[in-house]
Chain A
Amino acid sequence: MFYRECGNYKDSYASDMAIFPIPLDQYGFIIMMIFAFLVIPLTASDYWLSNIMIPFYCFGLSAIGLNILAGYAGQISIGHAAFMAVGAYASLILYGRYGIPLIPSILGGGLISSAVGTIFGLPSLRIKGFYLAIATLASQFIIQWIIVHWQWVSGGVFGTVETPDMQIFGLLINTPVKKYFLTLGWVVVLAIVAKNLVRGQLGRNWQAIRDVDYAAEIIGVNLYKDKLIAFAVSTFYAGISGSLITFCYYGAANIEEFHVMVSFALLGMIIIGGLGTILGSFFGAGFFVLLPIGINQVLGNFMAVVPSEILSNLEAIIFGGLIVLFLIVEPYGMARLWHTIKDKMRLWPFPY
């Protein structure tokens, strides 16, 4: 009844191109931001902040990166966790060893990851589809090996580096709330950048490449350039998310946290959340982070202690089952469900 374009006159180009053309959406967005910046930090417990919200934001950021590459540009990558690792180690080295301030260090982690990602994206100029997917899997193993075996990178045993104390302008970031704000700041800025990237010329080029690549080339899209940019942007996001998750959640860079299973989980997140949507990346990440906790809660009603075996197996079954279910029923994931709800809202309660 209230959610409709009716009476919403666009009288400038800016209002025509707004991300949220309908006022109710704008209010919703503002309320969500207030919620994220005020309500959650004030009300949530330390456990919720540091064990659920922070990994949720970090995986969401990483999923945006993978979504740009796989969902928008159509280049499947199954080595994305490795680029998170590159970002994590690079920012740790910059911050801990060279004493560069925290924010530039995280940014540097992203940029280095982006450089590495562009190099590993080079095969995409010649191959595509499954062959490319496997070539990206190569990046996972090569990067893992380099981090474990090059003393200069890992610095310690088995590729583990502790994070030093974090400081921004002398402000010590040590409580979950401060870490939460650090993560949230990055996520909000980068999510808005991503949303605008995929709405613009570049995003449309990517979608053209994804849909029919030779047709895209005929209408003047520079395939090589745009594919490499997709790899660069995507791995930049992965790098930032990797360094944030290391600084704010794990507390130490450990190569085991960036295992190939994480790459697969990221791919699962964007399928469940919605391929080719920024919002879907967050849905998928939220689902992935909340699933084990949800299963634990449900099973907790029946047994005192939930064995970790049952937990991880159930998690795998539900996660896998939902990937299949979504692909069959709703190939564009939760984000499309959300859009369907909005479309229904538009006509509610008088469907004519």
Chain B
Amino acid sequence: MAFFFEVLVTGLMVGIMYSLVALGFALIFKASDVFNMAQGDMSLLAGLALVGFLELNFPLWLALLCTIAIMTVLAYGTVFIVLKPLVARPPIMLFMATFGLAYMIQGIGQSIWGTQAKGLNLGIPDIPVTIGGLFLSTFDLTFGAVAGILVVILVWFFHKTRTGRALRAVSDDHEAALSVGIPLLKAWAVTWMIAGIVAVVAGIAWGTRMGVQFSISYIAYKALPVLIIGGLDSIMGVIIAGLVVGAGENLSEVFIGPYVGGGIQTFFPYLIALLVLYFKPYGLFGKEIIERV
């Protein structure tokens, strides 16, 4: 039984890291109805930039600041160069534009900082500790805590600050927000910037775990089922779904995997997602748009 709980908790920890990536998707979708395929590549870019600045012997805080500055430039660039001309187009076009953006971010990031995998060491120890009879890695615990704090900050930001309220207004109804004087494009840019900062956190988390390399952008595809299960526009949903997916894939890999040949964690989250889609087409917590297909 202890083994079961260990597998479960490890899964939950990984799940939180999926939530971090999925959070960026959800934020942007909520604000601008854009399904941002470039989220994983934004994490990759953030990780690459951070390592790049650290290699120049910048202190950590300065490197982080510079990385966030890059993400901000990217956010404003994306909104004012790519999205602005596409405002009134069907959402599927915007989706495809972000898909081109993903290619560009990948190419540009890797031409500046190289394609080989780099280690990212922030001095977080990766030693197992025992809590209540369970072996856990301090590393997982740290990032669990970081993700938790991030979500609290985001919820506070969206509910208590003036900017946050403006962003929620935009996500509720574009035209109504415009008519009370909220600049739409600026609001989008701020949202993309926040998603960029979330991408920085995700980039750090995954970069320290598996090295900063191209495959970080694939984490995004792991995060997509999380998004589906939680509902495309729900922050809470994404967190819960992340936990479900993380636990589910780890448990299935350990307990079902050996019988069918292993490696089922690559698609198990998608199976859960398909199942959820069948019963709740807008995810567990997504805004239900009544519409017949």
Q: What residues make up the interface of A, taking CB atoms closer than 8 Å to B? A: 74, 76, 123-131, 133-135, 137-138, 141-142, 144-145, 148-150, 213-214, 223, 260, 264, 267-268, 271, 309-310, 312-324, 327-328, 331
Contacts and interface: CB of A to CB of B under 8 A. Distances in A.
Interface stretch (B62-70, B132-140, B195-203, B271-279): B271-279
B59 to A, nearest CB: 29
Among B100, B111, B227, which residue has the most Cβ atoms of chain A within 10 A? B100
B271 A138 contact: yes
B278 A328 contact: no
Interface of A: prevailing SS: helix
B82 interface: yes
A131 B111 CA distance: 33
B245 interface: no
14 contacts: A74-B92, A130-B91, A134-B227, A134-B228, A135-B273, A138-B225, A138-B267, A138-B273, A149-B263, A223-B293, A309-B115, A320-B100, A320-B102, A320-B103
Contacts of B85: 328
Interface string B216-240: 0010010011011000100000000
A24 B235 CA distance: 58
A260 B37 CA distance: 13
A133 B224 CA distance: 10
A321 B273 contact: no
A74 B96 CA distance: 13
Nearest to A308: B115
A324 B82 contact: yes
Given A123-B274, A135-B273, A268-B103, 8 more contacts: A130-B95, A131-B232, A309-B111, A316-B110, A320-B101, A320-B106, A327-B100, A328-B86
Contact of A316 (B89, B104, B114, B292): B104
Contacts of A131: 228, 232, 277, 281-282
A129 B282 CA distance: 11
B107 A126 contact: no
A148 B110 CA distance: 30
Contacts of B274: 123, 135, 138
Given A126-B293, A213-B293, A317-B103, A141 B92 contact: no
B99 A313 contact: no
B278 A123 contact: yes
Nearest to B34: A130
B86 A149 contact: no
Interface of B: 35, 82, 85-86, 89, 91-93, 95-97, 99-108, 110-111, 114-115, 218, 221, 224-225, 227-228, 232, 260-264, 266-267, 270-271, 273-274, 277-278, 281-282, 292-293
A154 B262 CA distance: 16
Nearest to B291: A214
A302 to B, nearest CB: 15
Given A138-B274, A144-B266, A327-B93, A214 B99 contact: no
Nearest to A224: B293
A145 B281 contact: no
B103 A137 contact: no
Query: Which of B85, B104, B292, B293 counts the most A-chain CB atoms under 10 A from its CB?
Result: B293
B264 A324 contact: no
A148 B111 CA distance: 32
A317 B109 CA distance: 10
A320 B293 contact: no
Contacts of A324: 82, 97, 100-101, 104
A316 B102 CA distance: 9
B79 to A, nearest CB: 13
Contacts of B260: 149
A286 to B, nearest CB: 18
